[in-house]
Amino acid sequence: MITWSEITALRLKRQHLLYPVTKENYNQLFANMSPVSTMYWTTPGDPPTLPRHADFDDYDYNSSRRSKRELLKGRFGGGSIAYVTEEDLEVFACLYRKEPSEFSSIQMELMELLKQEGPMNIGLMKELTGLLVKEITPALHKLQEAFLVYEDQLDNEGDRGWYLFDGEFPEVDLERFSKVQALKGVLPRAAKLLVFCDEEMLRSYYRLPLKLIKEAVRELVNEEILLPVEVEGKNGYLLKEEKELLSAETISLIEPNVILLQRNDFLVKGYADYLKIAYPSDWDALYYLLIDGVFHGVVVGRFKFGPHVIEDIILDLEEKEKTRRREEILKAVYEVFDNEGSSAKRYCGIATK
């Protein structure tokens, strides 16, 4: 019988949360977690990173990959900015493409301008058209969601060029896959990292309509790629090949651990809807606490450019566990936050000083 402890142990292993991935295997992990957002709170223009998952500085590594267009920027899932590998651009463009039902006059003007004059930044568009930046920017974002224009992001500078998408990527066929076909192509990657998943988790992670998720899952079940299972009263799916792996003999026990995960982390995105309900607060959720492989709390406060403000550490552990693991949890928090500049004001509602 499959247990949650087995699933949790394999999740931690697959996502390299206990034993961070080396550069040799990093690219595959990045592809499996795609689309990869930048950290939730970061400087505009920063490259995507996988904090906690890599055993090296992937900021510099991904900056280099981005400068060589090995990582490409786009708007995926609700129009949010994220990155995919050059090899995966076509499948994710087909999956997330959101073409306008009709084009506005500003969108048409900008498309024609790029066609006639070539790539340019927003400042030059403003100069040539007389339009305001606040008119140009949202129009470009809609065209970007349709994968009709491409925003070049070779470094973290703010003066970025805009290109016609088909001129930069003529090999990408935006009609090659239907949305269901594209989703079926990438969904097993997330399923492998999550080990056990359901439609709500996949919808939360990919930020796609539930109807589309259900259709792709149904076809993957019919094709015997996904297997419906029940784990301790919860219904979901795992890759058919996984069932033989999930046994007490093949999965080691989880050692006690506390891990802080930022809000755009792969696992957090899969549980995003649950986490919002489980840990309500008047403060911003800064990082979520993964304790022994399971979400058990959140660090709340305010994001700032400078020391962040930690108002409280909220936990759903039993009272004895909150006390017993207090120093362990605070130590994990201060591995991410500066103890001097961002000292926690409260621990489970009680002042720390």
In this predicted model, what pLDDT tens digit does every residue of 44-100 receive, in sequence order? 889 999 999 999 999 999 999 999 999 999 999 878 899 999 999 999 999 999 988
- Domain total of the chain: 2
Last residue of a domain, one of 168, 190, 215: 168
Q: What stretches in the chain show pLDDT beneath 50?
A: 248-249
Q: Give domain status of residue 313, yes or no.
A: yes
Output the pTM of the full model: 0.92
pLDDT value at residue 254: 74
327 part of a folded domain: yes
DSSP state of 87: G
Residue 294 lies in a domain: yes
Examine residue 19 and state whether it is found in any structural domain, yes or no.
Answer: no
Which structural domain, as residue segments, surrounds residue 292?
Answer: 279-351
Domain contains 96: no
Q: Write down the H helix ranges in the chain.
A: 4-14, 23-32, 58-67, 89-96, 105-117, 122-129, 133-145, 165-168, 179-194, 199-206, 210-222, 266-270, 272-278, 319-324, 326-336
Q: Is 320 inside a domain boundary? A: yes
Average pLDDT, rounded, for the chain = 93
Given a contact cutoff of 8 angstroms between Cβ atoms, the answer to whether 81 and 140 are in contact is no
Q: Which of these three, 150, 168, 186, is where a domain ends?
A: 168
User: Is 143 contained in some domain?
Assistant: yes
Of 117, 141, 168, the residue that ends a domain is 168
Note whether 151 and 83 are within 8 A (CB).
no
Residue 316 lies in a domain: yes
